[in-house]
Structure 1
């Protein structure tokens, strides 16, 4: 066991006024299986890059272990996979590599195929196996689940649970629960570490947030009552003080000493109340600093005159002349929330594109309602660039509504001035979701909408879909999201 010590860490990107980390200090045990969570744009990937020495920073990071970053950069994916493994770890022992691949349920023959011919999930498993072979290394695993289907996520989570010595960035709640024993969270004002899995951390956070919200309301009422009481006591003191220079109603002489004593006593009480006011205000100022904003999102779909919007009847899809899935049949009716599931390569995205009207090679019957308006969220975000104002205009959506949705998804106003190309992966995905929520449509088609998106925003989107019950067909590998949202499940089998 050794420690990673972070002391007084301060960092901001060159030319940026936004400080990502400000005088942060904490310790990490290198035996921990540490889950790393926090809202998009808070600096999770940045922190991993700081550990590897990619950027200059103020403060100190000290450790007796070497850091290895996942995903590893493969410069030549034409190489056979065994050669890629050698480039990651030249001193690997072959039987140890085979043992790791067996744990990850990867066949040995992939080692002798070009790396580029492997699926994204297979590439992920190969890189994890190679990196975990390195001795005295602490792995920084950055969002591995984005290229894994549900079954692969279960396999990789079991694999990681058998290991120790890593930081795992992931927004998949079930995945984190299966393979971490500590949580490091980047909050609004600090970084904190807790023992337990994600569900333990989330339960503690909700309990703390509810306590602070209740305490805040109590202090607000106390401050209001003290303000009224202080004003009353102060007014009484001034009124009594005025009588020192007057006479009683009976005409007798005023006892100035008695009145002065009474006024001073009232003023003393007023000062005491002011002190209690100040203490209450100070207590209040310590609350709610890390309570996350998760405002309610809204969605209004266009009414469609018929109950059935589309139908697939014994559809077989082809890719490159080869069938990827066969005999797919289902209908899309009003209010359906249909999860299309299956392993990578089973044709899920192709099904969605067919529904959207793309020219997908297929047999069988596909029928879609006339004048059906569809809003589509793609997996790909690489085409996003320019500022948000131009993006809204180019897509004919209401700019004010579009930006209001992004604000609810934790975008700062400063973010509105930046080029979308500079956004984090999660922020780019939020741009596409906000666009979709701003569009007039009868049907929403979302292809892996939650890739890179933080947990709290996922919960916001879940609440939206449960409250407004739109007609939607989606592909998503987050098992928690699917189990909460789907009213129907279409499972595709690879041909």
Structure 2
């Protein structure tokens, strides 16, 4: 076991006036299983790049281990998988690699297939296995779950749980809980480390937030009370001081020394109250710095004139000679939130596109009312570019509502001025979700909407769906989200 030290770390991208990190200090043990969390755009991937020495920064990052990043870029995807691994780690021992693949339930024969013929899940597992057979390396694992179905996520989580020495960026709560023992969180104003899994960290954060909110309300009352008291005392001292040159009601001469002493005493008391007031304000300013903006989201689903929106009766989808799914039967009733479940390649996205009205080759019975209005969130965000205002206009949605939703999902106003193509993966997903929430529809169809989206935003979206109960057909591999949201699960077998 050794230590990784981060000291006085400060970084901003060239041309930016805002530091992403400023005088950051912490240290971590190289045998920790460290979950890395924080809202989109806070700098998680940037921090991993800093640890690899890819960006210039001030301060120090020191360690006695080498850093490896996942997912690393594969230069020659047409090569056999075993040759791809040899390019990354020329001296690997094959028996060690096969042991890792066995733990990940990957057949040895994938090593002798071209890498580009492997499924996304197989590629993820192979690349992880290749990195974990290296000695004296600390792994920086950046969102490995985005190409994994629910079953594969559990498998990879269990695999990581038997390992140590990594930082894992993930927004999947159940996944983090299965395989980490510490949480590194990028908050609004600092970076902190806590021992425990994600659920422990989240419980502690909520408890701290509630404490700070209660303290804030108490200090607000204290400041108001002290302010009122200071005004009264200051008023009294001025009243007393003004009698120094006058006479008493009895007509006797005023004792200017006594009145001056009394006025000075009251003024001193006023100053003391003002000082206490300033101290209370200063204490109050230390609170609420890391409480996240979690304003409630809204959606305005359209009511449909009948209960059943669509029906699929023994649907089979094939592309040429390749069957994707068979015998899919279910109805979409108004108010239902239906999760499509199944392994990667089982036809989930094809079914969503069929319901959306795309030209999907199928057999069986499919009926959808011609008047049904659908709002669709696709997996792919690569088409997003340009100005947010222009994007809203091209989609025919209200720009103010669209940007208001993005603000509630932790977009800064500065973000509105940037080209969408420069956004992080999570921010691009939020653009698609905000557009969908701005659309009035009878049916919302979302295909893996939460890829790259931070945990706090996921919880906001959960609360929205539970409050407004729109009719929803969706695919999502975040098991916590599915458990909380779905009223019905349709299992597809490829």
Q: What TM-score comes out, normalization by structure 1 length? A: 0.99
CA distance in 2, matches of 1:316, 1:252: 109
Task: Provide the residue aligned with 2:245 in structure 1.
Answer: 245
CA distance in 1, matches of 2:55, 2:319: 43
Task: Provide the residue aligned with 2:304 in structure 1.
Answer: 304
CA distance in 2, matches of 1:353, 1:136: 47
- What secondary structure does 1:457 align onto? helix
- What secondary structure does 2:278 align onto? helix
CA distance in 1, matches of 2:183, 2:249: 74
- What secondary structure does 1:303 align onto? coil
Task: Provide the residue aligned with 1:405 in structure 2.
Answer: 405
The aligned runs of 1:460-475 (5 Å cut-off) are 460-475=460-475
User: What is the CA-CA distance between 1:258 and the residue it aligns to?
Assistant: 2.0
> For 1:131-150, what per-residue CA distance to the aligned partner results, in whole angstroms no more than 9, with x for missing partners?
00011100000000001111
- What secondary structure does 1:245 align onto? coil
CA distance in 1, matches of 2:38, 2:445: 27
Task: Provide the residue aligned with 2:272 in structure 1.
Answer: 272
Task: Provide the residue aligned with 2:13 in structure 1.
Answer: 13
Task: Provide the residue aligned with 1:347 in structure 2.
Answer: 347
The yes-or-no answer on 1:388 pairing with 2:388 is: yes
User: What is the CA-CA distance between 1:428 and the residue it aligns to?
Assistant: 0.2
The aligned runs of 1:369-384 (5 Å cut-off) are 369-384=369-384
User: What is the CA-CA distance between 1:194 and the residue it aligns to?
Assistant: 0.6
User: What is the CA-CA distance between 1:243 and the residue it aligns to?
Assistant: 1.1
> For 1:236-280, what per-residue CA distance to the aligned partner results, in whole angstroms no more than 9, with x for missing partners?
110011111111222122222222222122111111101110110
CA distance in 1, matches of 2:395, 2:109: 46
CA distance in 2, matches of 1:150, 1:18: 38
The aligned runs of 1:168-247 (5 Å cut-off) are 168-247=168-247
User: What is the CA-CA distance between 1:18 and the residue it aligns to?
Assistant: 2.6
User: What is the CA-CA distance between 1:113 and the residue it aligns to?
Assistant: 1.1
Task: Provide the residue aligned with 2:481 in structure 1.
Answer: 481
Task: Provide the residue aligned with 1:149 in structure 2.
Answer: 149
The yes-or-no answer on 1:49 pairing with 2:74 is: no
User: What is the CA-CA distance between 1:112 and the residue it aligns to?
Assistant: 1.1
CA distance in 1, matches of 2:38, 2:270: 45
CA distance in 2, matches of 1:225, 1:417: 43
Task: Provide the residue aligned with 1:38 in structure 2.
Answer: 38
CA distance in 2, matches of 1:366, 1:18: 53
Task: Provide the residue aligned with 1:293 in structure 2.
Answer: 293
Task: Provide the residue aligned with 1:459 in structure 2.
Answer: 459
CA distance in 2, matches of 1:255, 1:27: 68
Task: Provide the residue aligned with 2:91 in structure 1.
Answer: 91
CA distance in 2, matches of 1:350, 1:111: 30
User: What is the CA-CA distance between 1:405 and the residue it aligns to?
Assistant: 0.5
> For 1:43-84, what per-residue CA distance to the aligned partner results, in whole angstroms no more than 9, with x for missing partners?
000010111111111111111100000001011111111111
CA distance in 1, matches of 2:119, 2:319: 15
The aligned runs of 1:77-116 (5 Å cut-off) are 77-116=77-116
- What secondary structure does 1:140 align onto? strand
The yes-or-no answer on 1:445 pairing with 2:445 is: yes
- What secondary structure does 2:244 align onto? helix
The yes-or-no answer on 1:23 pairing with 2:23 is: yes
User: What is the CA-CA distance between 1:315 and the residue it aligns to?
Assistant: 0.4
User: What is the CA-CA distance between 1:391 and the residue it aligns to?
Assistant: 0.5
- What secondary structure does 2:185 align onto? strand
The yes-or-no answer on 1:254 pairing with 2:254 is: yes
Segment of structure 1 superposing worse, 254-263 or 46-55 = 254-263
User: What is the CA-CA distance between 1:229 and the residue it aligns to?
Assistant: 0.3
CA distance in 2, matches of 1:144, 1:242: 76
User: What is the CA-CA distance between 1:473 and the residue it aligns to?
Assistant: 0.3
Task: Provide the residue aligned with 1:336 in structure 2.
Answer: 336
User: What is the CA-CA distance between 1:86 and the residue it aligns to?
Assistant: 1.1
The yes-or-no answer on 1:138 pairing with 2:161 is: no
The yes-or-no answer on 1:356 pairing with 2:356 is: yes
CA distance in 2, matches of 1:187, 1:248: 63
Task: Provide the residue aligned with 2:491 in structure 1.
Answer: 491
Task: Provide the residue aligned with 1:323 in structure 2.
Answer: 323
